[in-house]
Amino acid sequence: MLLLAPMEGLLDATLRDVLTRLGGVDRCTSEFIRITNTLLPERAFIRVVPELLNGGRTVAGVPVRPQLLGSDPALMAENAARLATLQPPGIDLNFGCPAKTVNNSRGGAVLLDEPELVGRIVAAVRRAVPAHIPVSAKMRLGYMDDARAEDNALAITDAGASELVIHARTKAQGYKPPAHWERIAQVAQALPAQRPVLIANGEIWCVEDARRCAAVTGCEHLMIGRGQITDPGLASAIRGEGGVPWSRVVPLLPLFWARVSARVERRHRAGRLKQWLNYLRHRHPEAQVAFDELRLHHDPQAIEAWIARAQAAWGCREAASAESAQPC
């Protein structure tokens, strides 16, 4: 099983739609929905996870599991119960967000200093949600250190989670390489035989990384994030189905732009496209050219004109390539 990771401010419904059209991904987890001191209305869940209006799936049919983040067991349970009425394909709980603003308000990875509270949150949500809706969790190895990694994993296990994603770094380690895959294996050894499905996450950028991560952690299932954004064909390649060439990415740029235009304020739209190109250029040289051409453009009309030119230019190349491939 290959899961697409949640990434606040980057991997939202727009990019989920685009990336899942290219295949290889079994399921997505949404960016977090913050639970503070109130019961959210249904529209708050749908705003973050519009796929809930499509049976909890992307246009390509890939399930999307909404993720909740908060520290109050009762409020988390109450909101999970309301979310469950929208029939999501599961509910995920965030114990891994490293963002300072989130941690300062007792959300995300900071809760890993309190394994007992982590367990109470998972247990409360599990009790509040119908049995047919899976409850899963995502954690890091710890907050400032990994001394409580096993305690947190045990708490999540005992509370009834069906799956546990472990990002192989602490909050303090952020996203700095390496990912400590060996610690996931150690955590797994500390869990009982009847444990959640374990899913490894962190520093999976290529097929060889995926193989080594699986071998070191002992996890059959993986979650990929930045690697899939950089190389939209990574999940397919890991499956042995071949990668995704630039010629398959280009036709999705207008779709990405249309989705961004529908969901993002005008002044931020160009930044979203350049943000994705900034990742893509590490895998596709053509994306580097695109990034350089668009770097100083901020006006949406200029971006749309560039997309039209890029499509036309690539279409001509594809046609010429196909013509040259015809037998004499």
- CA–CA dist 24, 221 (Å, integer): 13
* Residue from 28, 97, 213, 219 carrying the catalytic annotation: 97
Alpha helices in the chain (DSSP H): 13-20, 42-48, 73-84, 100-104, 115-128, 149-158, 181-190, 207-217, 226-230, 234-238, 246-249, 252-263, 266-280, 285-294, 300-324
10 Å CB burial of residue 44 (0-12, 13-18, 19+) is middle
Q: Could you tell me if residue 223 is left (phi over 0), alpha (psi between -120 and 50 degrees) or otherwise beta?
A: beta
Is 97 a catalytic site residue? yes
Helix (H, G, I), strand (E, B) or coil at 31: strand
Q: Which amino acid is at 228?
A: Q
The first and second tokens of residue 133, run together, are: 């809706």
Exposure on the CB side of residue 87, measured as CA atoms within 13 A: 5
Q: Which residues are catalytic?
A: 97
